[in-house]
A and B are shown apart, each in its own frame.
Chain A
Amino acid sequence: MSDRITEESNSSETKELEQKQDKQKKEEEYEDEELPKLLLSDVQTLPSTPPSAVESNFAIYFALDFMKPRHDQYVYRHANGLCVIGLAPSHVAFKDEGGITSTDFNVGKSDRSGVKVTGKRKKNAQHFESNTALCKVSTKNDSYIVRCCVKGSLLEVNQQLIKQPELLNASADREGYIAIIMPKPVDWLKIKPSLVNLEEYKKLREVS
């Protein structure tokens, strides 16, 4: 009697082992054949130059002649409401020989680079108007004030610009961004009509 029981349990053990081996084999096959197929399934339709991360994730706007002629700035607005502020390519500062040589966040009543915003609720963020000064960029002979363009809380300024102002000359549209501002929905709706989108910007400034 006991012998038969041992026999039966042995056969179910071998069955389990077989099932495990089968499964392992299937998994290996999957890794070698199916997974790569899955990963590259959309490769046929790759564009030669894909849209950039900014183009894909933000709505791009421009503020032209903001408070002064040719003081053009961009406003990238994310779906979550945050706005990245920076210098548009047509900004007058880029016309100066040698480009931008230094930046200074100590404008207005405080040093904007000293702001320490903490927590999910963004405690200690300063509330600024659209015409509040963010920073001063200087060229060989001149300096220009960069402003918020959007009323809201200042979440961060681009600290890299202090040590590396040349970022503005090379990539003002990406690593050379000036600041990130969080406007209230109602304040965004108020300012939006005064901004232009990319298409209008290209027409107005005759940029390709």
Chain B
Amino acid sequence: MEQKAEEEISNAFPPSSFSSSDLKQLLHSLPSNALNHFFSLGVCVRCILRLFGIKGPIYASIDNGSVENPVDSTTSNETKLCNICLGILQFRFYDDKEKRIFQKDTAYDVALLIADMVRQDGYQFDSFSLEVSIPPLILQNEASLWSYMQSKYGSEPWFREKIHTGCVSIKDALKFSLINPLEKLLDCKSSLCPFRIRLTYTHTKASEGVAKCSDNGGSCKRRKTGESDSIGEGTLSSSVEDESFDFSKLFPKSENEPCNFSYNCSRTPFYFGGRYLKYSRNVSQTRWIIDDERMGEASVEEIIGIKVLQACGGDNYKFHAAGREDIDVRMLGPGRPFILEVQNTRLVPTEQFANDIEKMINKEENKLVRVNNLKLVGSDGWNLMREGEGEKQKQYAALVWTSRPLKDEDFQQVSSLKDLKVAQRTPIRVLHRRSPLEREKIIHWMKMETVAGSSQYFLLHLCTQAGTYIKEFVHGDLGRTHPSIGSILGCRAEILQLDVTDIKMECFLT
């Protein structure tokens, strides 16, 4: 629905093609009994147009200062606050920052305010999406008015035609008003895109209005996504039609305050995907602070995140990785998949941009972290990463010491074990924050490699199920991991260092 309305607006005539006499003609073409009735009830001219289902750029071209009463060509309704839209479509609002009421005559004047705000923050954009949020009270007014129209004019032929097209919603009428001037001022077209301009109207009496909801029998259902331009098609309570309806009861004059109007712009997040390698044994994956002290000298997420954030002018980042490794474990081989979410970027990142950032990170002097295959990813990136995370196999190389010298038979025995089942009780080093459970894990294969000049040190290569604690598999964790390398070889075994050599996942390999 939203897309259709936006397209209509974008393709419309430029506003200057309408004049005030065109407006007069248009008003005269409407059913006069209903027109005069609405006018006498204090409905503003744009609300009148939209009640009759009029669409298009006429909303943008009307000058509030030159609107005349269609009946006697004297004072217009624009001096009083409209009872239905509470000034939204009259460009009357209360500004929190300036702490006063504004009254703009044309849509262009309002668009000027918005365009200034956009330019201030230095956003780069080639399109914008306009989003409007209005108080539930007003949506209620719309619904009540529609049901009132049904009851009063239901039998008239012009109304029967209207049932199909319905009224234009306040949101859509506001968009008809503002989108053309904004496109002119911002020099681009509006469309569904990541750059959002948000207009928010709120009203202090809104909470009271919601309480009236129960009276209307559920007819004030606010639609969350997209604005429908046909409201309340035959879903409203019939009680309204039965009574001799008192219009003034619905819109008490005491609600004479315009809405609070605030506006801002932001961009939906961008996502970078890639693989990271960690060459340091003193760098944690994520920022790790205990008692105000940082553990390790840096973190992977900060090294990558801060560079990306600065380069595209974002507000903040979120780092998501497919699993993690200890601070003293290096991440080698093809690297670990990760996704970096960057929020509210001022610039628009491109593929070239991702390449440049990758080179920048890898050129760092201290070579703590490396990034491979950094690129922009869409929502499918998440699925690629999360898919089968628990089943993926990981490969490691561990430097192991044994309390007795090893012989060829030991090497062969270890290599012969395939898909070895290991029962691991929650390691003591994480027992304070994880459930005490016994988890069965699989060691798919193992290979021992001699270390030159030693019969008690060797390099253990192993491929395991995701979630296996490798260190505990080597030293046995006081017997709580069984079997362990020590129990298999019948001696004591200790692990001196550990490296992740492969993460067998398919994402972000190019």
A interface with B by C-beta (< 8 Å) = 27, 35, 38-40, 42-43, 46, 48-54, 57, 78, 80-82, 84, 117-120, 122, 155-156, 158, 160, 167, 174-175, 177, 180, 182
Q: How far is the CB of A185 from chain B (nearest CB, A)?
A: 12
Q: List 18 A-B contacts (CB under 8 A).
A: A38-B499, A39-B459, A40-B459, A43-B399, A43-B451, A46-B401, A50-B494, A52-B475, A78-B428, A80-B429, A80-B431, A80-B433, A81-B432, A156-B425, A158-B479, A160-B479, A167-B479, A175-B478
Q: How far is the CB of B450 from chain A (nearest CB, A)?
A: 11
A156 contacts across to B, CB distance below 8 A: 425, 436
Instruction: List 9 A-B pairs, minimum CB-CB distance, nearest first.
Output: A175-B479, A53-B475, A80-B432, A39-B397, A50-B401, A177-B478, A117-B436, A174-B478, A119-B435
A57 contacts across to B, CB distance below 8 A: 429
Inter-chain contact A155/B431, CB cutoff 8 Å: yes
B452 contacts across to A, CB distance below 8 A: 43
CA distance A160 to B456 in the complex (A): 29
A42 in contact with B497 given A35-B333, A118-B435, A180-B428 (CB within 8 Å):
yes
Inter-chain contact B431/A180, CB cutoff 8 Å: yes
Instruction: Kindly state whether residue B54 has any CB partner on chain A within 8 Å.
Output: no
Instruction: Kindly state whether residue B332 has any CB partner on chain A within 8 Å.
Output: yes
CA distance A156 to B279 in the complex (A): 37
A155 contacts across to B, CB distance below 8 A: 431, 436
B258 contacts across to A, CB distance below 8 A: none
Instruction: Kindly state whether residue B250 has any CB partner on chain A within 8 Å.
Output: no
Inter-chain contact B479/A35, CB cutoff 8 Å: no
Inter-chain contact B432/A82, CB cutoff 8 Å: yes
A48 contacts across to B, CB distance below 8 A: 456
B473-508 interface bits toward A, Cβ cutoff 8 Å, 1 = contact, 0 = none? 001111100000000000010111101010000000
A180 contacts across to B, CB distance below 8 A: 428, 431
A84 in contact with B428 given A43-B451, A118-B435, A120-B435 (CB within 8 Å):
yes
Inter-chain contact B494/A52, CB cutoff 8 Å: yes
CA distance A27 to B279 in the complex (A): 17
Q: Choose among B330, B430, B432, B477 the residue with the greatest number of A CB atoms under 10 Å from its CB.
A: B432
Compute the total of residue contacts between A and B using a CB distance below 8 Å: 85
Instruction: Kindly state whether residue B454 has any CB partner on chain A within 8 Å.
Output: yes
Instruction: Kindly state whether residue B59 has any CB partner on chain A within 8 Å.
Output: no
Inter-chain contact A82/B428, CB cutoff 8 Å: yes
A78 contacts across to B, CB distance below 8 A: 428-429, 432
Inter-chain contact B433/A120, CB cutoff 8 Å: yes
A122 contacts across to B, CB distance below 8 A: 436
CA distance A53 to B399 in the complex (A): 13
Nearest B-chain residue to A55, judged by Cβ: B494
Inter-chain contact B476/A175, CB cutoff 8 Å: yes
Nearest A-chain residue to B474, judged by Cβ: A53
Nearest B-chain residue to A167, judged by Cβ: B479
A82 contacts across to B, CB distance below 8 A: 428, 431-432
B428-451 interface bits toward A, Cβ cutoff 8 Å, 1 = contact, 0 = none? 111111111000000000000001
Inter-chain contact B454/A46, CB cutoff 8 Å: yes
Per the 8 Å Cβ criterion, residues 12-59 of B in contact with A are: none
Q: How far is the CB of A15 from chain B (nearest CB, A)?
A: 15
Q: Choose among A42, A50, A51, A180 the residue with the greatest number of B CB atoms under 10 Å from its CB.
A: A50
B385-409 interface bits toward A, Cβ cutoff 8 Å, 1 = contact, 0 = none? 0000000000001010100000000
Q: How far is the CB of B35 from chain A (nearest CB, A)?
A: 61
Nearest B-chain residue to A80, judged by Cβ: B432
Q: How far is the CB of B491 from chain A (nearest CB, A)?
A: 12
Q: Choose among B332, B477, B479 the residue with the greatest number of A CB atoms under 10 Å from its CB.
A: B479
Nearest A-chain residue to B403, judged by Cβ: A49
Instruction: Kindly state whether residue B457 has any CB partner on chain A within 8 Å.
Output: yes
CA distance A39 to B430 in the complex (A): 26
Per the 8 Å Cβ criterion, residues 336-359 of B in contact with A are: none
A118 contacts across to B, CB distance below 8 A: 435-436
Inter-chain contact A46/B501, CB cutoff 8 Å: no
Q: Choose among A38, A42, A84, A122 the residue with the greatest number of B CB atoms under 10 Å from its CB.
A: A38
Nearest B-chain residue to A52, judged by Cβ: B494
CA distance A119 to B501 in the complex (A): 33
B495 contacts across to A, CB distance below 8 A: 53
B479 contacts across to A, CB distance below 8 A: 158, 160, 167, 174-175, 177
Q: Choose among B332, B428, B496 the residue with the greatest number of A CB atoms under 10 Å from its CB.
A: B428
Inter-chain contact A46/B436, CB cutoff 8 Å: no
CA distance A78 to B428 in the complex (A): 8
Inter-chain contact A39/B499, CB cutoff 8 Å: yes
Inter-chain contact A46/B332, CB cutoff 8 Å: no
Inter-chain contact B428/A46, CB cutoff 8 Å: no
CA distance A160 to B438 in the complex (A): 14
CA distance A39 to B434 in the complex (A): 31
Inter-chain contact A50/B496, CB cutoff 8 Å: yes
CA distance A57 to B479 in the complex (A): 16
Q: How far is the CB of A191 from chain B (nearest CB, A)?
A: 18
B492 contacts across to A, CB distance below 8 A: 52, 174
With A78-B429, A177-B478 known, 10 other A-B pairs at CB within 8 A are: A27-B334, A39-B399, A42-B399, A43-B457, A46-B457, A50-B401, A53-B477, A120-B433, A120-B435, A158-B478
